[in-house]
């Protein structure tokens, strides 16, 4: 009855018949409260909020949606949490609090994604269960067939023994028969040995194929995770801010317009950097990106990259210090070394607090050059150090200003260093800072 009353209220609300809508939603609310039906109680509160929002009573709409949010959170009702986020977005938009409106819009999109992911996970679980049942049935059939073959073999041996006993009087015949059996067993053993070797070889191939498939699945999962979340989130923010600019431009003052433009610019830059890393990583996974080693003046390249990040560092009150000898020439792929340095320096800025210093220095070591990027930032916990170069780990943490990332940058660094027959290592003390060291080949 609570569900029917809520639905009737929603229908009258769509028809803008507010008195009838209020009557039915109130009935649903009283029934739900009486029988402690929390999910229907949340629906009633959401309907009241929708009704007050349509009637222009923002205060009542806010009061009801806040109550709905608390009940939904208490009952872990994901659908209701999604609806309350959507209502908060509408309410704050009505009150022209665009920052809050955008926050709830992003929360609404994230919850909607979570609902979709839960449905997809349920589908995957059902598929996996069906597959396991099929495999079990197949294995049972195979065991039944083996049992039949064993029964036939036992029966054959029984008849063989009877035949030997019956033919014992014919000694010569028995010897001939035994010789025949012995020769037959030798051939069979030889055939079984060959078949066993073939099975071992096939199993090795299957194991290698499974490893490749696991790696491919890990790469695919990461790729789709980035597309479905990390690419969508900045797009959602840009679309939300753009929609507000488009719909409310005449009512916005200069400060509000500037604030929205800054949001669009910031997320556009983040999106561009992500796409650069994503394309480079995708090319490296498909083998399209090959190392083309050339002589590189290390000081010149580092100077150019430092200039790119001076503005970002200043915005966080971080100092970039560089100590690279001018006469150093290294042998490396120019694009790959540029990408590695950009990722290491941007990561150092991301995970450093205001007032920190980032040092980029070089040291000669025999025939090699050590390029070191050292920050005094937040550092990395010891148990996470092994994860940063592992493509299957999905290790990713926000920066000191809650900057978001995908974990692709360090994977790219690791891949590009390997393609150039070089080495990269990391040392970190949590709370004190991190040091990345790249071993580069010195030009002769």
Q: What is the average per-residue pLDDT within 396-415? A: 73
- Does residue 424 fall inside a structural domain? yes
pLDDT at 324 over 70: yes
- Does residue 197 fall inside a structural domain? no
pLDDT for position 438: 94
Measured distance CA(247)–CA(240) in Å, rounded: 11
Measured distance CA(360)–CA(365) in Å, rounded: 16
Measured distance CA(186)–CA(54) in Å, rounded: 90
Measured distance CA(357)–CA(131) in Å, rounded: 55
**pTM: predicted TM-score of the whole model, two decimal places:** 0.45
CATH number at residue 331: 3.30.565.10
pLDDT at 280 over 90: no
CATH number at residue 47: 1.25.40.10
pLDDT for position 267: 66
pLDDT for position 119: 67
pLDDT at 442 over 60: yes
Question: Would you place residue 339 in the very low, low, confident or very high pLDDT band (cuts 50, 70, 90)?
Answer: confident
Q: How many domains does the chain have?
A: 2
Question: Would you place residue 319 in the very low, low, confident or very high pLDDT band (cuts 50, 70, 90)?
Answer: very high
- Does residue 204 fall inside a structural domain? no
Q: Contact, 295 vs 443, CB < 8 A? A: yes
Low-confidence winner among 41-55, 75-89, 328-342, 371-385 (lowest mean pLDDT)? 75-89
- Does residue 355 fall inside a structural domain? yes
Tokens at residue 199, please? 């099975």
Measured distance CA(412)–CA(283) in Å, rounded: 10
- Does residue 351 fall inside a structural domain? yes
| CA of residue 17 relative to chain centroid, distance | 46
Q: Contact, 339 vs 299, CB < 8 A? A: no
Q: Give the contacts of 390 (CB within 8 A, at least 6 positions apart).
A: none
Q: What is the average per-residue pLDDT within 27-48? A: 90
- Does residue 142 fall inside a structural domain? no
pLDDT at 34 over 60: yes
How high does pLDDT run on average in the chain? 82
pLDDT for position 228: 46
pLDDT at 131 over 90: no
Q: Contact, 326 vs 362, CB < 8 A? A: no
pLDDT for position 390: 74
Measured distance CA(379)–CA(351) in Å, rounded: 8
Q: What is the average per-residue pLDDT within 398-406? A: 68
Q: 278, 266, 259, 443: which is closest to 368 by C-alpha?
A: 443
Please tell me the chain's helix, strand, coil percentages from 3-state DSSP, rounded to the nearest 5. 70, 10, 15
- Does residue 151 fall inside a structural domain? no
pLDDT for position 303: 94
pLDDT at 209 over 70: no
pLDDT digits (tens, 9 = 90+) for 133-191: 877 887 888 888 888 888 888 888 888 888 888 887 777 887 888 878 888 888 878 87
pLDDT at 285 over 70: no
Measured distance CA(103)–CA(90) in Å, rounded: 11
Q: 100, 35, 19, 31: which is closest to 65 by C-alpha?
A: 100
CA distances from 355 to 151, 181, 313, 412 (A): 81, 89, 10, 29
pLDDT for position 187: 81
Domain end residue (candidates: 66, 93, 117): 117
Measured distance CA(130)–CA(127) in Å, rounded: 5
pLDDT at 33 over 60: yes
pLDDT for position 200: 84
Domain end residue (candidates: 99, 117, 135): 117
Q: 2, 52, 54, 39: which is closest to 24 by C-alpha?
A: 2
| Cβ neighbours, 10 Å, residue 312 | 16
Measured distance CA(273)–CA(288) in Å, rounded: 20
Range of the domain at 420: 291-442
| Cβ neighbours, 10 Å, residue 52 | 21
Domain end residue (candidates: 70, 96, 117): 117
- Does residue 310 fall inside a structural domain? yes
Helix, strand, or coil (residue 434): strand
DSSP one-letter code for 396: -
pLDDT at 388 over 50: yes
> Exposure of 197 by Cβ count < 10 A (0-12 exposed, 13-18 middle, 19+ buried)?
exposed
């Amino acid at each position: 009855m609570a569900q029917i009353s809520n639905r009737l209220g929603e229908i009258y609300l769509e028809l803008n018949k507010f008195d009838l809508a209020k009557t039915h939603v109130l009935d649903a609310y009283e029934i739900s409260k009486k029988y402690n039906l929390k999910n229907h109680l949340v629906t009633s509160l959401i309907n009241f909020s929708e009704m007050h929002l349509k009637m222009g009573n923002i205060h009542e709409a806010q009061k009801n949606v806040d109550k709905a949010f608390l009940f939904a959170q208490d009952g872990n009702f994901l659908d209701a949490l999604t609806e309350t986020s959507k209502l908060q977005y509408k309410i704050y938009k009505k009150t022209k609090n665009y920052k809050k409106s955008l926050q709830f819009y992003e929360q609404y999109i994230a919850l909607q994604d979570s609902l979709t992911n839960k449905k997809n996970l349920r589908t995957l679980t059902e598929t996996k269960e069906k597959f396991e049942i099929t495999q079990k049935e197949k294995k049972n059939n195979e065991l039944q067939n083996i049992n039949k073959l064993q029964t036939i073999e036992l029966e054959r041996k029984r008849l063989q023994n009877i035949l030997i006993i019956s033919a014992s009087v014919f000694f010569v015949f028995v010897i001939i028969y035994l010789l025949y059996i012995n020769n037959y067993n030798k051939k069979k053993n030889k055939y079984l040995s060959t078949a066993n070797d073939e099975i071992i070889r096939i199993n090795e191939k299957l194991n290698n194929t499974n490893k490749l498939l696991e790696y491919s699945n890990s790469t695919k999962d990461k790729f789709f995770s980035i597309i479905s979340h990390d690419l969508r989130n900045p797009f959602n923010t840009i679309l939300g801010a753009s929609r507000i600019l488009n719909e409310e431009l005449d009512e916005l003052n200069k400060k509000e317009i500037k604030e929205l433009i800054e949001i669009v610019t910031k997320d556009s830059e983040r999106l561009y950097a992500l796409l650069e890393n994503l394309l480079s990583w995708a090319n490296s996974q498909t083998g399209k990106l090959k190392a083309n080693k050339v002589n590189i003046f290390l000081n010149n390249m580092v100077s150019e990259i430092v200039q790119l990040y001076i503005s970002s560092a200043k915005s966080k009150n971080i100092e970039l210090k560089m100590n690279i000898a001018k006469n150093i020439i290294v042998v490396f792929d120019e694009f790959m070394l540029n990408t590695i340095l950009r990722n290491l320096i941007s990561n150092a800025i991301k995970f450093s607090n205001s007032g920190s210093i980032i040092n980029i220095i070089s040291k000669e070591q025999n025939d090699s050059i050590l390029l070191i990027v050292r920050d005094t930032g937040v550092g990395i916990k010891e148990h996470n150090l092994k994860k940063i170069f592992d493509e299957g780990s999905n290790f990713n943490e926000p920066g000191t200003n809650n900057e978001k990332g995908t974990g692709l940058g360090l994977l790219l660094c690791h891949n590009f260093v390997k393609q150039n027959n070089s080495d990269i290592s990391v040392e970190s003390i949590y709370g004190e800072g991190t040091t990345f060291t790249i071993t580069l080949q010195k030009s002769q």
